[in-house]
Amino acid sequence: MDQLIPLARSGGGYLPGEGRHDRAQGPLRKLDIRLPAAGHPAEYTLRAGDQRVGLNAWLGRRIVLRHTGEIHCIECGRATRKSFGQGHCYPCFSSLAHCDLCMMRPETCHYFQGSCRDPAWGERHCFRPHTVYLANASGLKVGITRGTNMPTRWLDQGAIQALPILDVETRQQSGFVETLFKAQVSDRTNWRAMLKGEVEPLDLVAERDRLLASLEPGLGELRRRFGHDAIQAVDAAAPLSIDYPVLEWPRKIVSFNFDKTPRIEGTLMGLKGQYLILDTGVVNLRKFAGYQVAVSAEAA
């Protein structure tokens, strides 16, 4: 087994092998993002196969990402000409429970109709507590996540603020709650606005109180349907504030696509959400999960 050796620059990650570690190669996975102590920006790790690179240490350095032309399903590993659902081959995308439409629209859960793709998986992942939250990535938005997936969900979205507001017993029920909120607030992020760094802080506590008061009739109906304890308010006095490692925000957003531009290069100016911000454009690495990519950085 290759030995894990730290990168030469401080704050970096680890790579197998010997010598300088300014490169990695393998099928991409979504960026691993960690939130350190308050007052410090998020810490980013690029994952290429079993290799890891701490990207914060690469800020200000010129990097090259080269797609070799190969794509491998992140679930079964087989080669595929096209990626579906952020890294799956078509057979996996069309058969796995976590790729079903109800994962994007939980209120459409069809478990009780007997047509769940994998009932045992659904019981493990969907019949567990979820949290409804407000976040500010490009403006006010509502979302849901498993209680154990905070703050990862917010970091992946590039949110600068986040506030859990309701704990809900199941994923389907959280979908019904989110549907209520979507009548008054978006559930989507404007990724271009998120990457320009012009998002103003919001008073999420005031927004929470306003929305809960306005939507109380609908929430009351859901509680009568599922039980009073199924939907509980979260006692959060203040939102979580998140900083990202960015040297300079882009003035114009140019998005790279490995299918059209197999070689992407530029100076790494920042990291936000699942995006690399280069002086030449931006690239969403999560979108290209499973793509075989060689990544390198010029010497410090």
Spatial distance between the Cα atoms of 38 and 272, rounded to a whole number of angstroms: 17
Q: What was the pLDDT predicted at 300?
A: 67
> Could you tell me where the beta strands, DSSP code E, fall in 12-152?
14-16, 23-27, 32-34, 43-48, 51-54, 62-71, 130-136, 140-146
What is the rounded (10 degree) CA torsion for 283, 288, 289, 294? -70
Q: Rounded mean pLDDT of the chain?
A: 91
Query: What is the value of pTM for the model shown?
Result: 0.90
Which residues neighbour 198 within 8 Å (Cβ) at sequence distance 6 or greater?
249
What per-residue confidence (pLDDT) applies to 136?
98
- Give the H/E segment covering residue 175: helix 171-181
Q: CA 200, CA 197: separation in Å to the nearest integer?
A: 9
Task: Give the span between the Cα atoms of 130 and 170, in whole angstroms.
Answer: 6
Which stretches of the chain score pLDDT less than 50? 1-20
